[in-house]
Amino acid sequence: MAAAGIIAEYNPLHLGHCCQLRRLRALLGEETPVICAMSGNFVQRGDFALLPKHARAEAAVRSGADLVLEIPLSWACAPAERFAQGGVEVLQATGLVTDLVFGSESADAGAIRSAAEALLGPDFPEALRRELAGPHSFAAARQRALAGLIGEEGAEVLSRPNDILAVEYAKALSREGSEVHLVPILRQGAGHDQDGGEYPSAGSIRRMIQEGRRAEALAAMAPAMRELYEAEEARGRAPVFAAGAERAILAQLRRMGEADFLALEAEKEPFHHIHGAGKSGYPVLLEQLRGKGVDLADHPALQVREYIYDMATVMRAADLVICRAGASTISEITALATPAILVPSPYVTNNHQEKNARILERHGGAVVLLESEASGEALYRTARDILRDPQRQADMSRGMAELGIRDATKRLYDTVMSIRK
């Protein structure tokens, strides 16, 4: 039996999704079974789904899907490439899906497939490295590198959000050696995460709810979704937004790992550590350390501060920096040629911090620990191993220096002045 597959979040399921289901059956036949791979209670970038997964799955079935399967959490919360890979693997595992149907700004399966093949090709990594050496964001460098291989028109697919995800579907299918067909359906209504149009996007609907425009948001939902949303709302289970809990959750998770790290240092005291905890995190971290039997007064090598106000001095004196991987931080530690353990934030656009960090890692200047890997034990062990090895520190420092731009201020000044002329 042949079936169509859809990969979605349905957060929430809206009128545009209903249109997609109708057009799918118009293309593939009214009797075509539809299998959806859908995110659960958490969606991309670790956000909370607007309402529980079972309600969203029921809405999908009542709106025309025949079966809804959950995309496991590690894929559902991941950036586009891993999200697409997870969705494809879920659908592939059924052994039934012959066509992967998705919304697309171009609806050009050939262009999407060509871009995917080039991105997976042997020439792309070097082309990307060349572009990343210039003054471009990762997304812009990626598109420019692809344009160098297949032309600017072909690379245009990486400028449109639905087409970007479609390319990731095509890449995932290629990796799997799959014979599943790509079936793009021209997106109608508002663009991804945009307002307006005949069919407001899911992101737009969520914003309407946050802004108190409830009636407008309900009108944009699929009828079954509207009914189920109101039922969940009446039970106090919708709407769910991360904003109210995100800072507290992240702060608590970070403090737990930091407290374990500092407690291990207090036990062994292998190095001097200056730690910035932030104003809200500072008392929490001190309390957690006390709970682990650590009195900082007994451990002068451990300094825990609200903020490191003399950051320039401290960073310049450091043998190792443990930090995130934002652009400003990267520019500072590479200019100083200071070895680093980078814990990229996963809660940023296009996962750009991990991409930044991986470049430093490839040059040998940094060790990358993803947030899920950065336990107190892992941080302690990694820092200890680096600081025990002077040759490794020297090699890491050289790797950082290769990437450092020490005269960035002058370059910016010269550029501005040249434009003024």
User: How do residues 249-285 score in pLDDT, each as one tens digit?
Assistant: 666 655 567 788 888 888 877 789 999 998 888 898 8
Of the candidates 185, 188, 27, the residue with the CA atom closest to the CA atom of residue 108: 185
Strand, helix or coil at 372? coil
Look at residue 416 in the predicted model and tell me its pLDDT. 92
Phi first, then psi, for residue 254 (nearest 5°) are -65, -40
Look at residue 252 in the predicted model and tell me its pLDDT. 60
The model's pLDDT over 186-227, given as tens digits with 9 standing for 90+, comes to 987 554 455 556 789 999 999 999 999 999 999 999 999 999
- Is the bond into 390 cis (omega within 30 degrees of 0)? no
Of the candidates 71, 75, 82, 58, the residue with the CA atom closest to the CA atom of residue 5: 71
Strand, helix or coil at 181? strand
| DSSP-assigned letters across all residues of 275-340 | EE--TTHHHHHHHHHHHTT--GGG-TTEEEES--TTHHHHHHH-S-EEE---HHHHHHHHHHT--E
Query: Rounded to an integer, what distance in angstroms lies between the CA atom of residue 242 and that of residue 328?
Result: 26
Q: Which residues pair with 221 in a beta bridge?
A: 14
- Give the pLDDT mean for 109-137: 93
Look at residue 157 in the predicted model and tell me its pLDDT. 96
Query: Rounded to an integer, what distance in angstroms lies between the CA atom of residue 71 and that of residue 97?
Result: 16
The model's pLDDT over 114-127, given as tens digits with 9 standing for 90+, comes to 999 999 999 999 99
Look at residue 139 in the predicted model and tell me its pLDDT. 87
Is the pLDDT assigned to residue 20 strictly greater than 90?
yes
Strand, helix or coil at 245? coil
Q: Which of 9-13, 19-23, 296-300 has the lowest mean pLDDT?
A: 296-300
Look at residue 134 in the predicted model and tell me its pLDDT. 83
Domains recognised in the chain with CATH numbers? 3-105+160-241 (3.40.50.620), 246-408 (3.40.50.2000)
Q: What is the DSSP letter of 70?
A: E
The model's pLDDT over 44-69, given as tens digits with 9 standing for 90+, comes to 877 899 999 999 999 999 999 999 99
Query: Rounded to an integer, what distance in angstroms lies between the CA atom of residue 75 and that of residue 9?
Result: 12
The model's pLDDT over 282-295, given as tens digits with 9 standing for 90+, comes to 898 899 899 889 99
Of the candidates 105, 104, 100, the residue with the CA atom closest to the CA atom of residue 32: 100
Residue 151 near residue 115 (C-beta atoms within 8 A)? no
Q: Which of 31-40, 131-140, 183-192 has the lowest mean pLDDT?
A: 183-192
Look at residue 261 in the predicted model and tell me its pLDDT. 83
Look at residue 255 in the predicted model and tell me its pLDDT. 58
Is the pLDDT assigned to residue 246 strictly greater than 80?
no
Percent of the chain topping pLDDT 90: 70
User: Whole-number mean pLDDT of the chain?
Assistant: 91
CB neighbours of 256 closer than 8 A, spacing ≥ 6?
Answer: 288, 376
| pTM of the shown model | 0.62
The model's pLDDT over 288-338, given as tens digits with 9 standing for 90+, comes to 899 889 998 888 889 999 999 989 889 989 999 999 999 999 999 999 999
**Cα of 281 vs its chain's centroid, Å:** 24
**H-type helices in 78-137, by residue range?**
80-93, 109-120, 124-132
Going from the C-alpha of 149 to that of each of 105, 123, 140, 152, 196, the distances in angstroms are: 22, 8, 15, 9, 36
- Give the pLDDT mean for 165-176: 96
Tokens (6 digits) for 123: 């020439």
Q: How confident is the model at residue 392 (pLDDT cuts 50, 70, 90)?
A: very high
Look at residue 299 in the predicted model and tell me its pLDDT. 87
Q: What is the DSSP letter of 44?
A: G
**Cα of 61 vs its chain's centroid, Å:** 29
Tokens (6 digits) for 256: 């737990």
